[in-house]
Amino acid sequence: MAFKKKEVSEFKVGGVTIKVGQKYILDHLSDPSSKVGTKKFPFNGSGVTDCVYFDSQKNVYDTGFYEGSYCLQAYTKAEREELVPIYVNQIMKPYEEFRNEDLNHAEKNKFWEKFRYEAKVNKEFDTNKADDLFELFQIILQGLACEKNEKNPFYRQNAQFTISNPQTTKNKNKENSKTKSEAIQKLNILADADKEKLDLVLNYIGREATNKVDKEDLKTIYFEVITEPKTGLDFAERFNEACDSYETPTGKEKMEYFHAANELLKLRKIKKITGKGFFTEHGEIFLGLTLQGVAEFCLNKASQQAKAIEELIEQNPQVRREV
């Protein structure tokens, strides 16, 4: 049975952002120390049934619907003041009406004594439904589920499941595929039309020089790089960003300085000191931590780095490359 809300809202529950009106699903939480690689056995329905914690010191149930609730201790005071009224008005009260129950957190409340939430792999929660939203809220706040990339140990240490929004995941996957597709297209166009520019862009983002690689072989090599499941997206994002930067005056100038600095390094006119960065030949002027950093410094014409590099370029004009 769907519970009609006046408006769609978005708010934080634990480390998860809940968009009321959308669906969420529980999945395995990876655990390298486990023989099966996850916190729960990796099959549908593998799960946990539990109750809301009773705080014996305060003599109340830890419901998350009052500011002193232990499960909210990772919140700031401002967050508790902002979010608890939202929880009460948009989660607790609708559930009370839906189930005809009193959800006060007192010790004698029989509802909390009997209430059990159930979390299991692939269980879906429709936040249009009062009971689904209520159960999802408790599963998150009681520490049973967290975001896949949750960094806060308060939310992750006891979690057994990850939680995701299928629509958000679908949109993100679509964006990632688009990013990779754009990178492949840009690389193929540059390989055919301007291989020197492609070599410079690849070199700028830390790839080895490809000036001796045939363009068709280059397309094949980087198609595999971009479509690699674990690292392909990172490369595609950096490649697209560098290509876009190249099309701006500042980006072109930065890459010109990068190329010059790289050539000066090959000529031993500048040097790299491990752990410290790049310096002029005799170590008197710090140029930057990376060659990209050297190029960034050179955009400021008044900097000592720019003056030093310009002087070296004048002395070694063969390193200059107009892009």
80: exposed, middle or buried (Cβ count in 10 Å: 0-12, 13-18, 19+): middle
Q: Is the pLDDT of residue 201 over 60?
A: yes
Residue with more model confidence, 241 or 148: 241
Give every CB contact of residue 136 below 8 A, 6+ residues apart in sequence. 13, 18, 24, 125, 127, 163
Q: Note the pLDDT tens digit of each residue in 100-114.
A: 999 998 878 889 999
What residue segments make up the domains of the chain, in order of their start? 10-164, 165-247, 249-323
Residue 146 is predicted with a pLDDT of 92
DSSP letter assigned to residue 318: G
Q: What is the dihedral of CA 138, 143, 149, 150, to 10 degrees?
A: 110
| Two tokens, residue 13 | 């529950």
Rounded Cα distance between 66 and 136, Å, is: 17
Rounded Cα distance between 116 and 11, Å, is: 24
Q: Note the pLDDT tens digit of each residue in 81-101.
A: 999 999 999 999 999 999 999
Rounded Cα distance between 207 and 228, Å, is: 16
* Percentage with pLDDT > 90 across the chain: 67
- Poorest-pLDDT segment among 43-47, 95-99, 246-250, 298-302: 43-47
Rounded Cα distance between 75 and 117, Å, is: 23
DSSP-assigned letters across all residues of 175-222: HHHHHHHHHHHHHHHHHHH-HHHHHHHHHHTTPPP-TTS-HHHHHHHH
The stretch 47-53 carries a mean pLDDT of 90
The stretch 177-197 carries a mean pLDDT of 93
Residue 210 is predicted with a pLDDT of 79
Q: How confident is the model at residue 153 (pLDDT cuts 50, 70, 90)?
A: confident
Q: Is the pLDDT of residue 323 over 50?
A: no
What mean pLDDT value characterizes the chain?
Answer: 88
Cα Rg, the chain, nearest whole Å: 28
The stretch 292-312 carries a mean pLDDT of 94
- Given a contact cutoff of 8 angstroms between Cβ atoms, the answer to whether 182 and 241 are in contact is no
Q: Is the pLDDT of residue 261 over 90?
A: yes
How many CB atoms are closer than 10 A to CB 9?
14
Q: How confident is the model at residue 185 (pLDDT cuts 50, 70, 90)?
A: very high
- Full 3-state SS string of 39-75: CCCCCCCCEEEECCCEECCCCEECCCCCCCCHHHCCC
The stretch 35-62 carries a mean pLDDT of 73
Sign of the C-alpha dihedral, residues 197, 200, 206, 207?
positive
Q: How confident is the model at residue 7 (pLDDT cuts 50, 70, 90)?
A: low
Q: How confident is the model at residue 34 (pLDDT cuts 50, 70, 90)?
A: very low
- Full 3-state SS string of 250-279: HHHHHHHHHHHHHHHHHCCCEEEECCCEEE
Residue 209 is predicted with a pLDDT of 75
Q: Is the pLDDT of residue 318 over 60?
A: yes
The stretch 132-136 carries a mean pLDDT of 97
Selection from 168, 175, 173 nearest residue 17 by Cα: 168
Phi, psi of 21 (to 5 degrees): 110, -15
Residue 35 is predicted with a pLDDT of 46
Q: Is the pLDDT of residue 254 over 70?
A: yes
Q: How confident is the model at residue 65 (pLDDT cuts 50, 70, 90)?
A: very high
Residue 49 is predicted with a pLDDT of 92
Q: How confident is the model at residue 322 (pLDDT cuts 50, 70, 90)?
A: low
Does the pTM of the predicted model rise above 0.75? Answer: no
